[in-house]
Amino acid sequence: MKEAPKTALKILEIIKGASKVCVVGHIRPDGDCIGSQLALTLALESQGMEVMCWNQDPAPAKLKFMDTKGRFQPPSSGHQFDLVIAVDAASYDRLGEVAAFIQDRQKLINIDHHPSNTRYGDINWIASASASSGEMVYQLIQAAKWPLTKEIANCLFTAISTDTGSFQYPSTSQATFVTAGHLVEKGANLGMICDEVYQSYSLSRVRLLKRVYNQFKLTENNQIAYLWLKKSDYAKTGATRADTEGLIDHIRAIEPVLVACLFEELEPGVTRISLRSKHPQVDVDTIARQFGGGGHKAASGARIEGKPMTVQRRLITVLRKAIRNQL
């Protein structure tokens, strides 16, 4: 096992002195966020701590299999914490409504792998070379010599698999495969995880996917693919925002496409963008930061205020420039 960094060891020293802990993550949690939160919660509970696992939003239906005992909960008032640990949240704002419920704490630890992390914790462990926050939680558990149970292994394998595009993204390293292999050795159930995450879609999601294929557009010699999801799309398909996870990958996979963009209407005057890049020199993290967001070189996002078509024109202009500068 790779030696844990000094910051991780410092975090373990702080954890040893805590008895009541809250583990939090970002709004609209994905597999990495949920898996990391739950794995860390289970590991801390194994050490006799009282642990709460809070998120503003519920887990999507296809990821609820990780939460066998209902630990993943919305926040509630009236709690004091020795320690709050945020995982996979690049900024304090990304904690959403949870932030208001964790003010009464002694320390805040920030564990994340996003290069855009704003280092909002009292202690910040930011490892942008890690393919997922799940890898970091695994490293912490190993350094602490806490039990790596089958339930924890399932959570961490799901975290790593989902944030690497099932081990397809360039961020996947040799260490990622070594970690995943050890998790399988410790009992991660690949058959169940793959069935739940990748092969169990709701009918409403399939209806939404049909609209994706009918409505996406191409520009810049078919090198940019983009798509709008509007409230009417949800109303007509019966889908929810949880059904949008991974939809962008369907247009990203088109052979000539170098960058895919999903525009999502959140409310009047506010658009959420998701970006995916297949070109190593087209860094969508840098592009998202221009709009107040961030993420990774190959996957990032932002929320942008303004009229929808103005937002679209601004972003497509930046994407075109990025592609032309690299080709």
**Are 74 and 218 in a shared domain?**
no
Instruction: Give the DSSP H/E element, type plus range, for residue 83.
Output: strand 81-87
Domain that holds residue 278: 204-326
| Domain end residue (candidates: 182, 198, 214) | 198
The region that residue 300 occupies, defined by phi over 0 for left and psi between -120 and 50 for alpha, beta otherwise, is beta
**Are 212 and 165 in a shared domain?**
no
| Domain end residue (candidates: 150, 167, 198) | 198
Residue 109: how many other CB atoms lie within 10 Å: 22
Residue 154: how many other CB atoms lie within 10 Å: 25
Give the pTM.
0.89
What CATH number is associated with residue 231? Answer: 3.10.310.30
Q: Which residues contact 127 (CB under 8 A, 6 or more apart)?
A: 5, 112, 113, 135, 136
CB 300 within 8 A of CB 272: no
**Are 50 and 169 in a shared domain?**
yes
**Are 194 and 214 in a shared domain?**
no
Structural domain includes residue 1:
no
Q: Which residues contact 64 (CB under 8 A, 6 or more apart)?
A: none
| Domain end residue (candidates: 138, 169, 198) | 198
Per-residue pLDDT of the chain (327 residues; tens, 9 = 90+): 566 789 999 999 999 999 999 999 999 999 999 999 999 999 999 999 999 999 999 999 889 999 999 999 999 999 999 999 999 999 999 999 999 999 999 999 999 999 999 999 999 999 999 999 999 999 999 999 999 999 999 999 999 999 998 998 888 999 999 999 999 999 999 999 999 998 888 899 999 999 989 999 999 999 999 999 999 999 999 998 888 888 999 999 999 999 999 999 988 899 999 999 998 889 999 999 999 998 888 899 999 999 999 999 999 999 999 999 876
Give the number of domains in the chain. Answer: 2
